[in-house]
Each structure stands twice: as C-alpha cells, then as structure tokens.
C-alpha cells in the first residue's frame, strides 16, 4: 500500500536556467515544499504493527470477550466451556475485521484476519500439547518422587502394594531395547527405500511408493499379527522383545521412508549435477552429497518413526506379552515396555496401580523428549567440517 505523490495545482514551473540539481546529501523531503510533504510516496509495510493496530487487537479481544460473556452466560440459555470459546473466537474475528476495515483497505483487513486465524490455530495446538503434558505429570506426581519407582520391578509386588514397593525398571529397559532394535531394522530400510524412489526411479519405484504410502495407514494390530504369524507361528521364534521390535519396525518403516523421500526431493538438483560433473559415481554422490545435505530432515524422519513406534501397545502385547520381572535379553522370554505397562495398569482398576500408570506415562514422555533432543543434536550440521 503506497500513497502516490500528486502534483500541486498552484506549483509554478521553474525556468530551465534556474533549475538546480539536488546535492548528494539532499533527501526527498528537501526537494519537496513543506506544504507538499504529505504527498511523498512512503510505502506502508503491512506486517508492521502500529499503536492503532495493537489497540484494535486488544479492543476486539476484550470487547468480544465481554459481549459473549453477557450473551452466552447471562442472556441465552447456553453453557459449556468449549461452546463459549468457539463463540468468543468467531466474534473476535468479526469485530477485529470490522475495526480494521475502518482505517485500512481490504488487503490489510485480509492480512490481519489471516494472521489472527493462523495464530489462533497455533495457540490451539500449543494448548493441546501443553495441557496433555502438564496433566500427565500432575497425575504422575504421586509415583515420580519415589526412587524405587525407577530402580525396582513389579516382580512379587501386588497391584495393591504401596508406592514405596515395586517400580518400572523392567518396562524402561524393555522399551529402550525394543525401540533400539526397531531403529536398527527400520532406519536403513527406510533410507534405502527413500533413496531408491528419489535417486533411481523407474516404473518399479512408483509401485514401491504406492506400497509405502498405503503402509503408513496400517493399523498397529495388523503389524503385530503379521509378525506373530510369520516369526512366531511359522518360523518358531519365541515370544520375546526381538519379535516385538520387529513388529515396531513394521510400523516405523513406512513413516521413515515416506518422510525421508520428501526430504531427499528437497535437495537441490544442482548439487547432484555438480557432483556427477566432477566425476563422482552415483552411489558416492548420494552418500557424500545428498544424504549429508538432508541430514536435518532425515533426523526429523527418524523422530517421526520413533514417535510412531515407541507408544504402540498391541504389537508388543501380541508378540512379546507382559511381564513383571527384569529381562535384558531380547531373544528369550517376554519383555515388558512402558506402553504395555500402562495398558495393564489401566485394565487393573486398582488405585495405586493407576498412580503407577500415570508415573510410567510421565517417564515415557520424558524418554521421548530425550530421544528427540538426541536425534536433533546428532543431526545438527557441523560447521568447519566437510
């Protein structure tokens, strides 16, 4: 939005001989008479916030809050927090658009309205995530302060035992072992699939892409049944943590492959052409140019895969089974996990076991956060190194 400079009707034309060139230090304001300074072409940055914009925003925010409170809670026979917030947000958008339209043209109104919608959606997502995390830790506050909760197992401990007895050590170790084996299986296969789709191509790559996209919506119980029928029933593998890790890798593989494919497609084609022009082979180009360039995005793909697999319960229940004792051998005997421990605690119905359930959920959230941060740090670009 700009203000065009218009010629003053009473401005006389200066003689040609009396015209003088502007000095090097002169500005546009020096070349325009004082009474015409308001005609200078000064662009208005739409994204900039002025005092008028802030007052309009705050006025619309509190004005819509007061209006909806009077109508929703005092005049109309409505109730409920969700309905109140929805009506408040819609009314805020209407009032904010009307107030902005009083002093700004239509592009600015649409810009302010779109900004309010985007910030509202981001705030809703942030509120949902924070409320879930805070509620989980608040409910788990009874079990988290006890040291035995992290260093003991539930072997020989009844569900009605006090929180000073038993713990989730076996579930924590089982989760780490299972997700570690699943990463070892799914990460190379997922990256190899993504490289094949993006770098090799061909008719068969379309079939592979279609299968990968279809597997992203695969129910977790079907992955558990697939591993149960193939490894346990057909091949005679014992129900163990390794079988559970294989089921988790089936869930993680399509997520990693699909996300890695999207990341590899973002790598500029000029880097590939420059590497090939210097005499590099295609496998070496992929290994030394494409994959290091997409390191951060590949870490995101790994994080998404971990998030899909670390919280699964049905595959672990079908392929490993629940246990109350410590087992660090993934190839022998059942191995428990935090999601499976939470599930068994939920179906027990005991009050103290429910407290352990929320404590295990809090530990699972903290464990996921640590894994995410570790993946980000390892994938961070190293400055000064090739």
Statement: residue 186 has pLDDT above 80: yes
The least confident of 71-75, 150-154, 170-174 is 71-75
For residue 247, the surrounding DSSP H or E stretch is: helix 241-266
Query: Between residues 85 and 35, which one has the greater pLDDT?
Result: 85
Per this entry, what is the length of the chain?
386
Statement: residue 29 has pLDDT above 70: no
State the pTM of this model: 0.73
Statement: residue 248 has pLDDT above 90: yes
Contact status, residue 358 vs residue 345, Cβ threshold 8 Å: no
pLDDT at 247: 92
Q: Quick one: which of 292, 272, 296, 273 has its CA closest to 375?
A: 296
pLDDT at 41: 54
What one-character DSSP code corresponds to residue 383?
T
Domain 169-379 classified CATH 2.30.30.100? no
pLDDT at 227: 92
Q: Span 135-162, mean pLDDT? A: 88
pLDDT at 205: 85
Per-residue pLDDT of 127-142, as tens digits, reads: 998 999 999 999 989 8
Q: Span 24-52, mean pLDDT? A: 54
Q: Span 216-230, mean pLDDT? A: 89
Q: Domain limits of the chain?
A: 51-139, 169-379
Query: Between residues 28 and 323, which one has the greater pLDDT?
Result: 323
pLDDT at 46: 52
Q: How far apart are CA 47 and CA 104, in angstroms?
A: 13
pLDDT at 21: 45
pLDDT at 45: 58
Query: Which of the four pLDDT bands, split at 50, 70 and 90, describes residue 103?
Result: confident
């Amino acid at each position: 939005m700009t203000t065009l400079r218009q010629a003053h009707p009473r401005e006389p034309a200066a003689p040609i001989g009396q015209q003088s060139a502007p000095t090097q230090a002169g500005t546009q304001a020096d070349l325009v008479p004082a009474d015409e300074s308001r005609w200078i072409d000064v662009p208005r940055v739409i994204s900039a916030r002025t005092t008028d914009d802030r007052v309009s925003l705050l006025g619309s925010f509190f004005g819509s809050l007061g209006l909806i409170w009077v109508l929703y809670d005092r005049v109309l026979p409505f109730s409920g927090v969700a309905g109140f917030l929805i009506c408040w947000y819609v009314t805020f958008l209407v009032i904010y658009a009307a107030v902005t339209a009083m002093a700004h043209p239509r592009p600015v109104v649409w810009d302010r309205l779109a900004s309010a919608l985007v910030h509202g959606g981001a705030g809703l997502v942030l509120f949902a995530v924070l409320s879930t995390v805070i509620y989980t830790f608040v409910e788990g506050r009874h079990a988290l302060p006890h040291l035995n909760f992290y260093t003991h197992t539930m072997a020989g401990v009844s569900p009605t035992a006090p929180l000073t007895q038993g713990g989730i050590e076996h579930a924590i170790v089982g989760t780490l072992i299972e997700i570690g084996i699943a990463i070892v299986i799914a990460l190379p296969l997922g990256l190899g699939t993504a490289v094949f789709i993006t770098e090799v191509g061909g008719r068969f790559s379309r079939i592979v892409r279609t299968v990968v996209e279809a597997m992203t919506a695969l129910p977790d119980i079907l992955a558990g049944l697939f591993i149960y029928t193939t490894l346990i029933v057909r091949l005679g593998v014992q129900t163990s943590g390794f079988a559970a890790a294989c089921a988790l890798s089936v869930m993680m593989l399509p997520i990693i492959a699909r996300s890695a494919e999207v990341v590899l497609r973002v790598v500029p084609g000029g880097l590939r052409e420059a590497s090939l022009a210097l005499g590099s082979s295609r496998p070496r180009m992929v290994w030394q140019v494409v994959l290091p360039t997409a390191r951060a995005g590949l870490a995101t793909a790994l994080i998404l895969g971990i998030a899909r697999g670390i919280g699964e319960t049905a595959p672990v229940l079908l392929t490993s089974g629940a246990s109350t004792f410590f087992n660090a051998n993934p190839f022998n005997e059942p191995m428990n996990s935090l999601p499976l421990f939470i599930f068994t605690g939920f179906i027990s119905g005991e009050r103290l076991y429910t407290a352990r359930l929320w404590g295990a959920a809090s530990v699972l959230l903290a464990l996921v956060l640590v894994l995410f941060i570790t993946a980000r740090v390892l994938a961070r670009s190293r400055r000064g190194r090739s």
